[in-house]
Structures are given as C-alpha cells and as structure tokens.
Amino acid sequence: MPETNTFKQDLQILKDLQVLDKQIYDFSQELMQVPVQQKVYEQEFESVKKNFQALEDKLKQAKLKQKEKELDLGQKEEQILKRQGQLNLVKTNEEYSAIRMEIANMKADNSVLEEAILLLMDEVEVETKQVNAGKETMKLEEKKLADRKTELVQREKECRFQIDDLKSKRKAFISQVNAETASFYERILAKKSGMALARIDSENCSSCQMKLRAQVLNEVKLQEKIVLCENCTRILYEEN
C-alpha cells in the first residue's frame, strides 16, 4: 500500500496549488470580461456612428430646404414675368396699378426667399465640410473597432491557453493530495473566488482580516488537520 501524506505534507502541496488556482481564477475572470468589453467597444462605435448619421441627416435637410426655396423662387419669378406681360394688355389705370402692386409684393417676397437661400447655401457648405470630416473619422473608428476586436480575440485565445496549461499543471499537484483533503479543498475553492487558502497574518486571517481565536491559532500551528477561518471559511495556514 502506498504511503499516504501527512496533513502537513498535503498543506504544502495545497499552497503550491493555490498559486495555480489563483491564476486560473484570474484568467477565467478576464475571459468573462471579453464579451463585456466587446460590447463596450461596439457601443462606443455606435454612438460615434449615430452622431455622424445625425450630421448627414442635417445636411440632407438643409439641401432639401434650399431646393424647395429655389423652386419657389423660380415659380414666383415666372409669375412676375407673366404679370409684367399682362401690364401691356390692361385697359384701366386701376387694373394697371393693381398689377404693379402685385408685382412689387412678389418681388419683395422673392428678396426674402433669396436671403433665405443664401443662408441655406452657407449652411450646406459648412455642413458638407463637417460631413466630409466625419467620413474620415468614421473610417478611423471602423478600423479602431476592428483592431480592438482582433485584440480581444487574441486575448481570449491567450486566456484559454493559459487556463488549459494551468489546469493540466494543477492535476499533477492535486493528485498527490489525500482524496478527502483534495475534495474539501475543491469545494472551498469553487465558492471562494479562486482562493481556498488563507495565510495567518499576525493572528488575523489575511483574507478576511478577522482576528483568530487562540485555539484556532494553535490548531493551525499543529498542522494535523484542516482548520478553517470561522469567518470566511478558508483553510488557514501559517507561513513557514
């Protein structure tokens, strides 16, 4: 029958194992962050894109308004010509004055329209420049997003590789520990964020900072059995 470890020997192995398990835990946490981070990057990009689309819409609206007013102006100018043609045909002075008045009013309307068109042309010019600059920004943002995604894929691969590697290393350690102690350790590990062991730090549990009772400290010193922190339920050990 093979010799079984003393608890003291097991504890030494568990301390080495703990180092690996902490790394596995940290890499697993990082892995979980990958899709979260990707979402953040995508949202950032969407927000930039939304702003750019709003700019494009604004330009489109200004161009449309300009076109409408130009159309309106053209129609009014035609009407003026028509009315001016009619001036030669009128029979009475009253009719003549009435048409002259109408023409004057239409001309006044047109100068207001012309003013508005000039303002819109300025707006279109400014916004066209903004949209063109925005197009360049969008290209850069698209590239940035693609680069970030590539980086995340690489990071994910790296994390998975490290986890696999560490897990195969831990197998060698855990197989040396007594089965009962090993399964106890695994149970605590699963519940305690990758840290199943807690070092004693001047009479306190270094993990939860709780002050340990004298009896607990003595039991840990003996290294005969598993002793748990009564507060955080991690396996306590003393640094040799």
**Whole-number CA gyration radius for the chain:** 40
The residue within the footprint of Zn ion, chosen from 208, 221, 222, 225 (CB under 5 A), is 208
Strands 235-237 and 204-205, bridge-based pairing: unpaired
In one letter, which amino acid is 175? S
**Which of the stretches 28-36, 46-54, 160-168, 208-216 binds Zn ion when contact is defined by CB under 5 A?**
208-216
By CB under 5 A, tell whether 174 contacts Zn ion.
Answer: no
Query: Residues in contact with Zn ion, total (CB under 5 A)?
Result: 6
Tell whether residue 211 is a contact of Zn ion (CB under 5 A). Answer: no
The angle at the Cα of 183, spanning 181 to 185, to the nearest 5 degrees, equals 70
Tokens of 44: 């950032």
Among 207, 220, 227, 237, binds Zn ion (CB under 5 A): 207
- Specify the residue for token string 């070092």: 199
Helix (H) or strand (E) holding 111: helix 93-174
**Structure tokens given for 10:** 């097991």
State in angstroms the smallest separation of the CB of 149 from Zn ion. 41
Closest of 41, 52, 39, 42 to residue 139, by C-alpha: 52
Binding mask 52-81 for Zn ion (x = CB under 5 A): ------------------------------
Residue 155 amino acid letter: R
**Candidate segments 58-66, 83-91, 166-174, 223-231, binder of Zn ion by CB under 5 A:** 223-231
Q: Confirm or reject binding of residue 232 to Zn ion (CB under 5 A).
A: yes
231 touching Zn ion, by CB under 5 A: yes
> Who's near 179: CB < 8 A, 6+ residues apart?
none
- Look up residue 235 and give its DSSP letter: E
Give helix 93-174 / helix 7-87 axis angle, nearest 10°. 170
The least distance separating Zn ion from the CB of residue 189, rounded to whole angstroms, comes to 15
The one-letter amino acid code at 142 reads E
Residue number, 121 or 232, with CB nearest to Zn ion: 232
Residue (14 or 229) nearer to Zn ion, CB: 229
The window from 96-104, 174-182, 184-192, 224-232 that contacts Zn ion (CB under 5 A) reads 224-232
Segment near Zn ion (CB under 5 A); pick from 8-16, 79-87, 189-197, 205-213: 205-213
205 binds Zn ion (CB under 5 A): yes
Would you tell me which residues interact with Zn ion (CB under 5 A)? 205, 207-208, 229, 231-232
